[in-house]
Chain A
Amino acid sequence: MTLPDSARVEPEQAVPTTVDELAPLYRQMLAIRRMEEAAAKAYSQGKIGGFLHLIIGQEAVCVGSIAALKPDDYVVATYREHGHAYAKGIAARPIMAELYGKKTGLVKGLGGSMHLFDKPTNFLGGHGIVGGHVPLAAGAAFASKYRNDGRVTVCYFGDGAATIGGFAEGLSLSALWKLPIVLICENNQYSMGTPLYRSLAVEDVSLRALAHGMARDRFDGDDVIRVKRRIAEAVERARVTGEPTLVEIVTYRFRGHSMSDPGLYRTKEEVEEWRRRDPLNRSRSRLLEIGMAEAAIEALEADVKAEIEDSVKFAEDSAPADAYAPYVMKGAQ
């Protein structure tokens, strides 16, 4: 059996950009990295509980793709969503306070790491059942079509979601009804501890689009500007023609599935190879290449450090969560 070609040919050269475009994206990626490092430290100190899924290594995917959106556009994400939330415009303080389970947390200490939601920035979660949120995202896109409001929905999911029914049905309905949605598979190559070759008969998830007559794209996710450009094409397609796109972005998480996972199913060499492709280092080098002064980058980095330290202090100083009964149903006491 011959399958269609998997991906567009990747350009060897870096994607053209400017300091004005790249510096804010580098800053976002760095803030997400520092925020998650601070969260990991607090987790190891017992200050954050439950599950904590870090995105470290994958930051260019959420930052680059959300940079292609308008503020009115919807984002629907998984339980590995701290970065997506920050990139959509949610401040570090309420995110960190939520991880700490505090009253000042984004969702008042009721959701935790996996359930970040924010109505003002159109961030629709934060979902903990793999693949179950893909139909929800199609529903937000359905509402945009129903109202003809011009908004686009972007839905993120991992390669691990490619095997479950929620993804299959969300994909099928998005295509059938021509919904303005961009479905982004963040392929970090492991479904928890199971590598692609042991979970997918065909490892290219983007090929699923073909059976639905849907546009598709597939590329590496270590260059934040490339992510932004390619997702912008899909967003434009959704906004102008109302047609969905399935995009697969190949990436890698440097740490385990969650804090309890030492990642023993991967070799040191493999992890080291991907660390050499760190999207943050790549962007930093690029900024120097295109003319940003080292001192200016260091000032930006100091600013990020202060922002994240402030968020940790804010979380630690905040009062504990104190109410749950009013949040079972709207209107309930």
Chain B
Amino acid sequence: MAVISYREALNQAMREEMERDANVFVMGEEVGHYNGAYKVTQGLLQRFSERRVVDTPIAEMGFAGVGVGAAMVGLRPIIEFMTWNFSLVAIDQIVNSAAKMFQMSGGQFNIPIVFRGPSGPAVQVGSQHSQALESWYAHVPGLSVVLPSTAYDAKGLLKTAIRDDNPVVFMEGETLYGMTGEVPEAEYLIPFGVGDIKRPGKDVTLVAWSRMVHVCLDAAKELAKQGIDAEIVDPRTLRPLDTAIICDSVKKTGRCVIVEVGWPQAGFGGEIAYQVQRQCLDALDAPVERVCSDDVPMPYAKNLEDEVQPQVKDVVAAVRRALYLD
């Protein structure tokens, strides 16, 4: 299998789907001539021309709405937000237009659209550019919410997203673009609502998505040194959510720690904790633990930024609490 970057995997997914379906087009700020602010759309303009790789002015609410309108009449837009932070000025189009159109129209107008772009805190870019907004979008019926953690997942999930007949919120890890992984040459798709065990284990279940999967993988190495065997479950899509894979793991381990980079209050981990206690209370040997960022806007200084976000030591500490070791 080829080893390619997460960025290249996303690029391949778009390129292949654009070759496959002439209704698919990409639109966003700097996606064409600049080749993408994060180079995810590199080379697409040269291959598909300005008709299908559309540079926009800075107008997220405008071009997100253009995408929804084009999708109403049968095109399949991929709308790139330079970062998901900027989706907040377009959220009306995602929540009030895209997510509701099929319902409002009594099932007449489905919206086959992908909103995609980098998500989650990067490095020292300040509070307005360092947010994990998946819990916001996962709240909304009518949307699918996808957060791949590896190059393999990124490609397979993005191809599924582009072929989906409904709106998809596709959140890429801003710090994962350069991460490499094995990706098959042959075409594959990953269905929504199917989680993946990123590391098998027997003592504790860690639930994480996007970059936090990698924090958990590092934490698992540390825990292994302490004789603790952690299983890492990556739901990959928060909506629909594969509760079965999470609960099956918890039934095996009896302990559950949910790790997310978002804020604690009303964060998606709270929903997972609810599902776990509801579906496998008898299997739990300890209260469900959550590891989140601190409940503050992100500071700029590197030392403070690290302090705010979940680190390996925070995951290790939560696991030890769940095992009543501390």
Which residues of A approach B to under 8 Å, CB–CB?
A: 74, 76, 105-111, 115, 117-119, 124-129, 132-144, 146, 165-166, 169-170, 172-173, 176, 324, 326-331
Contacts and interface: CB of A to CB of B under 8 A. Distances in A.
Nearest to A105: B106
B166 A330 contact: yes
Contacts of A144: 73
B87 to A, nearest CB: 14
B225 interface: no
A42 B191 CA distance: 48
Given A140-B72, A140-B73, A176-B57, A135 B62 contact: yes
B81 to A, nearest CB: 15
Interface in B129-148: 141-142
A143 B52 CA distance: 11
Contact of B69 (A118, A142, A324, A331): A142
A74 B102 CA distance: 18
B108 A135 contact: no
24 contacts: A106-B106, A108-B107, A110-B106, A124-B109, A126-B105, A129-B96, A129-B97, A132-B93, A135-B65, A136-B72, A138-B62, A140-B69, A141-B69, A143-B73, A146-B75, A169-B65, A172-B62, A173-B59, A173-B62, A176-B57, A324-B103, A327-B107, A329-B102, A331-B165
A127 B97 CA distance: 8
A124 B72 contact: yes
B102 A139 contact: no
Contact of A165 (B61, B63, B104, B141): B61
A327 B104 CA distance: 8
Contacts of B64: 135
B107 A135 contact: no
A330 B72 CA distance: 13
B184 to A, nearest CB: 27
B108 A117 contact: yes
Nearest to B64: A135
Interface of B: 25, 51, 56-57, 59, 61-75, 89, 92-93, 96-97, 101-110, 141-142, 165-166
B103 A328 contact: yes
A138 B64 CA distance: 11
A135 B69 contact: yes
Contacts of A76: 69
Contacts of A326: 107
Contact of A327 (B66, B70, B106): B106
Given A117-B106, A143-B69, A135 B57 contact: no
A169 B59 contact: yes
B141 A139 contact: no
B110 to A, nearest CB: 4
B48 to A, nearest CB: 12
B61 A166 contact: yes
Contacts of B71: 139
Contacts of A327: 102-103, 106-107
Contacts of A107: 104-106, 108
Given A74-B73, A115-B105, A117-B104, A139 B165 contact: no
Given A139-B67, A139-B72, A172-B57, A331 B106 contact: no
B70 A111 contact: no
Nearest to B107: A327
Given A169-B61, A328-B141, A138 B66 contact: yes
B92 A129 contact: yes
Contact of B65 (A118, A124, A134): A134
B65 A166 contact: yes
Nearest to B66: A139
Contacts of B109: 117, 119, 124-125
Nearest to A114: B104
Given A124-B73, A138-B65, 18 more contacts: A115-B105, A117-B105, A118-B108, A126-B104, A129-B92, A132-B93, A135-B61, A139-B68, A143-B69, A143-B70, A143-B74, A165-B89, A169-B59, A172-B62, A173-B59, A329-B165, A329-B166, A330-B110
A140 B70 contact: yes
A169 B109 CA distance: 23
Contacts of B96: 128-129, 132
